[in-house]
Amino acid sequence: MSRYDPATTEPKWQDAWDKAGTFLARRDPAKPKYYVLEMFPYPSGRIHMGHVRNYTMGDVVARYKRSCGFSVLHPMGWDAFGMPAENAAMEKGANPRDWTYQNIADMKQQMKPLGFSLDWSREFATCDPEYYGQQQALFIDMLKAGLITRKAAVVNWDPVDMTVLANEQVIDGKGWRSNAEVERKELTQWFFRISDFADELLTALDGLKDWPEKVRLMQSNWIGKSRGLEIDFALTAPTAGPEGTIDSVPCYSTRPDTLHGASFIAISFDHPLAKALEVSNPEMAAFNADCRRMGTTEEALETAEKRGFETGLTARHPTEDRELPVWIGNFVLMDYGTGAVFGCPAHDQRDLDFARKYNLPVRNAFHMPSASEEVGAEALVPPKTEPVIYVNQPAGVTQATSQEAIDRTIDWFEENGLGRGQTRFRLRDWGLSRQRYWGCPIPVVHCDACGVVPEKKENLPVELPLDVSFDKPGNPLDRHPTWRDCACPACGKLAKRETDTMDTFVDSSWYYARFTAPRATTPTVAEDVDYWMNVDQYIGGIEHAILHLLYSRFFARAMQITGHLPKAAIEPFNALFTQGMVTHEIYTTRDERGRAVYHLPEEVEIVERAGNRRAYLRAEVDDLPENMPNFDRDDARNVLDLVGTRVDIIPSAKMSKSKKNVVDPVSIVESFGADTARWFVMSDSPPERDVEWTASGAEAAYKFLGRAWRLAAEVDARGPGDAAHDADLMKAMHRTIAEVTAGIEGFAFNKAVAALYAFANAVQRTDASAGAKRQAMLTMAQLMSPMTPHLAEEIWHMLGGTGLVADAPWPKADPTMLVEDSVTLPIQFNGRRRSEITVPKDMPREEVEKRALADDAVVRALEGRAPKKVIVVPGRIVNVVV
């Protein structure tokens, strides 16, 4: 073979690995284990560059750890339940099961050529009855352990399609298909009691040292521990409610220090008081009904215009002789706190906007020490650590930081029996019921005599029926008579199966544990989870920073309580890495009505001249030679400006089908090979940031791999060389080993790649002996092998390496080869670089200073003045200050 030829070599080495069983994970008590996991994909049917990047990162770590002597577990599976399968069923009449398994087969076929070091023998899909049956067993154990409860929750209800909508199916408050105004509807639902673990999930975050700080912060804020005060505001006129007379409104506040500034009470439209009053007040009922049409997301609530309805009731201020009007506010939710708040406009922007709108009074509870201005358009909300001057503070605080004042206020109210200090969490219980077909059936039965009864474990899995139709909206399980009707597991009488299925987040909350024993007839097996758990390195998108990761952490605890995981695995992911997206430019033209029309990258011709990039529709460019006999592609821009259609280039955006800025990994692998795709996604951009896919970047990656191949093939071509240069090459080699190792260990793959580029330049330019070059290229192959495993095997084999490079131990940098004898120091004059000197590494500070002051540029700059100060930082810099 005389050239780099990935099309033939890549399948060859993949076969070699398969035959040798190189990547099968084995429990090997003689070796330390390492578990690498990438967030498993949803089987959409097509892999995209984001997948390639995600799995390449995991593969680099897996292959590297393997070389370092670890017994590695690197599995792959499919997050296979979810709405797209049902949508496909509705749109194309496909069966969700067939559609999903076909997609899995397609995606696996696209993924295999990339050469990932995966143990495919452990593959499973969450829609396999073998998997979800064990999930049902977990559910039953958790139900019996008191980790699951049932209660009412609000869902998006489409009154036309008579179905529950996901948040993404609600567009501008309307159902995506019916276009009907969506309503809030209460349903009884199953919940995981995750809020019982709020404090534990919060404090345990401190132990997750190898998680990104930002993810821990996001989770911490999400859990939202707060200390506040619950105070009763007595109604001046008690009102008859559904469950007796309501004579006060309890309000929870994290800012009880500002009670003097309270100027109104706002209650939720679902508050018992609101429900009691609306019966006799049609106008209020209409307002409340309107509120109940709002979306269920926090975002919808927070961004909606703040509106209120005055109830006419008043409540007494608990410590001052005045009354506050009671309003219904669309921004107060019954699920939070007590469903009622006191409004303090001066120190809360939302309350201030509300007060200005409805002409409610605004009074300062405190001022800044420097000024005592009344609040205008903006609420006064200084950091809680800044001292402020209080006015008529209930606990008698005059000057203090807000934090101190809050603590003292809570104490004072408790001492005087006027309120209750409380710790609350923002985290709510995890509603897991979904009114959908394509999910894991909730294994319970509703019996008229026995109530809610869990299915017997021997009857698991409760399998989804296959004879379903999606011609009508709603959940087909709900109208499937033979599936729905069943025997009560307790009394044996005719009963009804639960027709709700589980949230797909449940599926992904324990798959990491299942990979340790994917075929077991129990959810997990002790000796396997003992050996393999935890996941040592977890890799996935930042979009999962909160929900998926928090739910998984909860599940690990629940599985420990129910005996499915050891105590040591209570935090399932030792280290977490969140990678960025793969982006691409978007190409648009406008149609006759001015709307954007998107074009695929391959439909666009980019013409680049003098630093300007312009794009044209390729079809027109291809037509040109016929139209113009003297067509010169170099001069295409000028010609195209006259006859071509200009295409606008919109810089990097997340790849999406609708914007047509997608690059298909399959076509990249076909034209350049898997190693090029892998090398490209690892180079240039740091892995936590987004990477922009560019055609020229992919070509550059391909060219470099060809160059590396040639350097190896031509080790002897330039003659025996000169052994006098060997030491320099070996120094460069050891420096490269150190840099690549540090790059992989520190998830800075782009820096590892840069070091390999530099090393290739060094090998190319050296006059060292052929033997030294051979050694350099063998090491180069090893260092490249995690990123470009096929090429590495090829070079290794070509240069006579023993066995597979995948089995060779990772090279170690010799520390004595990394030290330099002399060092070049920049010399600054008043902080600006003027010159530099090269001195022996260990030169004493005084001598360095003397040399620096004797430097021509320094003498010139001093103009005869004496330096005021000379700063010498050994090994780094000299700064002369006058």
Partner RNA sequence: GCCCGAGUGGCGGAAUGGUAGACGCAGCGGAUUCAAAAUCCGCCGCCGCAAGGCAUGUCGGUUCGAAUCCGACCUCGGGCACCA
Q: In the window 523-562, what residues touch RNA (CB under 7 A)?
A: 542-548
Q: Which of 475, 479, 480, 380 is nearest to 435 (CA)?
A: 475
Site for RNA in 196-215 (CB under 7 A): 213-214
Q: Which is nearer to RNA, 494 or 881 (CB)?
A: 881
**CA 337 and chain centroid, separation:** 29
Q: Which is nearer to RNA, 218 or 285 (CB)?
A: 218
Beta strands in 54-204 (DSSP E): 71-73, 148-158, 163-165, 170-171, 174-175, 183-192
- CB of 127: closest distance to RNA in angstroms? 11
Strands (E), 306-361: 308-316, 323-329, 340-343
Q: Is 684 in the site for RNA (CB under 7 A)?
A: yes
Q: Does position 611 bind RNA by CB under 7 A?
A: yes
Least separation in angstroms between CB 701 and RNA: 8
Task: State the Cα–Cα distance between residues 542 and 577, nearest whole angstrom.
Answer: 9
At 441, give phi and psi (nearest 5°). -60, 140
**CB closer to RNA, 72 vs 698:** 698
The residue from 179, 638, 830, 840 that contacts RNA (CB under 7 A) is 830
Question: In angstroms, what is the minimal distance from the CB of 460 to RNA?
Answer: 23
Closer by beta carbon to RNA, 431 or else 771:
431
DSSP-assigned states of every residue in 611-672 = TEEEEEEHHHHHHHHHH-TT--GGGHHHHHHHHSPEEEEEEEEE--TTTT----HHHHHHHH
Residues 328-367 close enough to bind RNA by CB under 7 A: 349-350
Q: Is 509 in the site for RNA (CB under 7 A)?
A: no
Expressed in angstroms, the distance from the first to the final Cα of the chain is 66
Grouping H, G, I as helix, E, B as strand and the rest as coil, residue 331 is coil
Query: Restricting to residues 213-252, which ones interact with RNA according to CB under 7 A?
Result: 213-214, 217-218, 221-222, 224
Minimum distance between the CB of residue 540 and RNA, rounded to whole angstroms?
10
**In whole angstroms, how close is the CB of 838 to RNA at the nearest point?**
9
Residue 503: CB minimum distance to RNA, A? 5
C-alpha–C-alpha distance, residues 823 and 840, integer Å: 6
The answer for residues whose C-beta is within 8 angstroms of residue 861's C-beta and 6 or more apart is 829, 834, 880
Q: Examine residue 659 and tell whether it contacts RNA (CB under 7 A).
A: no
Strand 535-541 vs strand 573-579: parallel, antiparallel, or unpaired?
parallel
Angle CA 809–814–815, to nearest 5 = 135
Query: For residues 446-485, which are near RNA according to CB under 7 A?
Result: none
- Give the list of residues 6+ apart from residue 285 with CB closer than 8 angstroms, or none: 278, 279
**Tokens 């295999």 -> residue:** 112
Determine which residue in the list 322, 496, 646, 689 makes contact with RNA, applying CB under 7 A.
689
Query: For residues 337 and 394, which CB has a smaller minimum distance to RNA in the complex?
Result: 337
Q: Which of residues 359-418 bind RNA (CB under 7 A)?
A: none
Please report, as a single letter, which amino acid is at residue 110. Answer: Q
Task: Note whether 608 binds RNA by CB under 7 A.
Answer: yes
Contact between 606 and RNA (CB under 7 A)?
Answer: no
Q: State which residue, 142 or 581, has the beta carbon closest to RNA.
A: 581
* Residue number, 689 or 850, with CB nearest to RNA: 689
Measure the CA angle with vertex 612, ends 606 and 616; round to 5°.
Answer: 30
Of these, 24, 145, 166, 240, which contacts RNA (CB under 7 A)?
A: 166
CB 215 within 8 A of CB 578: yes
Contacts 24+ apart (CB under 8 A), 836-840: 837/878
∠77-82-83 over CA atoms, to 5°?
145
DSSP string, 92-126: H---HHHHHHHHHHHHHHHHGGG-----GGG--BT
Closest approach of Cβ 80 to RNA, in Å?
8
Closest contact distance (angstroms) between CB of 484 and RNA is 19
- The residue (of 14 and 685) whose beta carbon lies closer to RNA is 685
From the list 718-726, 760-768, 772-780, 841-849, the region that binds RNA by CB under 7 A is: 760-768
Q: Which of 57, 155, 558, 576 binds RNA (CB under 7 A)?
A: 155
| Footprint of RNA on 267-326 (CB under 7 A) | 296-299, 302-303
Q: Which of 750, 799, 837, 867 is the binder for RNA (CB under 7 A)?
A: 750
Q: Look up residue 374 and give its two tokens.
A: 């009344």
Of 7-15, 527-535, 558-566, 698-706, the window that binds RNA (rule: CB under 7 A) is 698-706
Tokens 């040798």 correspond to what residue?
20
Q: Closest Cα to residue 111, out of 49, 203, 180?
A: 49
Q: Cα separation of 89 and 82, whole Å?
A: 12
The binder of RNA chosen from 254, 560, 589, 694 (CB under 7 A)? 694
Q: Which of 504, 534, 661, 741 binds RNA (CB under 7 A)?
A: 504
Cβ atoms < 10 Å from Cβ of 607: 20
Cβ contact 13:789 at 8 Å? yes
Min dist CB 879 to RNA, Å, is 4
Site string for RNA, 175-194 (x = CB under 7 A): ------------x-x-----
Tell me the closest approach of the beta carbon of residue 30 to RNA, in angstroms: 37
Instruction: Return the structure tokens found at 112.
Output: 């295999």
Minimum Å gap between C-beta 870 and RNA is: 9
Task: Decide if residue 824 touches RNA (CB under 7 A).
Answer: yes
Q: Is 645 in the site for RNA (CB under 7 A)?
A: no
* Residue number with CB closer to RNA (217 or 859): 217
What count of other Cβ atoms lies within 10 Å of the Cβ of residue 727? Answer: 12
d(C-alpha 820, C-alpha 840), whole Å:
9
Count, residues near RNA per rule CB under 7 A:
99
Q: Which of residues 421-450 bind RNA (CB under 7 A)?
A: 426-428, 430-431, 433-435
Q: At what angle do helices 789-798 and 6-20 cross, to 10 degrees?
A: 90
Q: Applying CB under 7 A, does 163 fall inside the site for RNA? A: no
Q: Considering the complex, state which of residue 71 and residue 100 has its C-beta at the smaller distance from RNA.
A: 100
Given 359, 482, 696, 816, the residue binding RNA (CB under 7 A): 696
For RNA, the closer of residues 449 and 873 by Cβ is: 873
Per CB under 7 A, which region of 116-124, 159-167, 619-627, 813-821 contacts RNA? 159-167
28-67 mask for RNA (x: CB under 7 A)?
--------------x-------------------------
d(CA 528, CA 35): 12
Q: Is 595 in the site for RNA (CB under 7 A)?
A: no
Q: Which residues pair with 454 in a beta bridge?
A: 444
> In the stretch 83-102, what mask flags binding to RNA with x, by CB under 7 A?
xx------------------
Q: What angle do CA 849, 854, 857 make, to 5 degrees?
A: 110
817 burial (CB, 10 Å; 0-12 / 13-18 / 19+) is middle
Q: Which of residues 842-871 bind RNA (CB under 7 A)?
A: 869, 871
Q: Check residue 757 for interaction with RNA (CB under 7 A).
A: yes
In angstroms, give the least distance from the CB of 77 to RNA: 12
**434 with 501: CB under 8 angstroms?**
yes
Residue 117 or 736: which CB sits closer to RNA? 736
Q: 331 vs 810, which CB is nearer to RNA?
A: 331
Q: Is the CB of 685 or the CB of 779 nearer to RNA? A: 685
Tell me the C-alpha distance between 385 and 442, whole Å.
Answer: 49
For residue 833, report the phi and psi dihedrals to the nearest 5 degrees: -70, 125
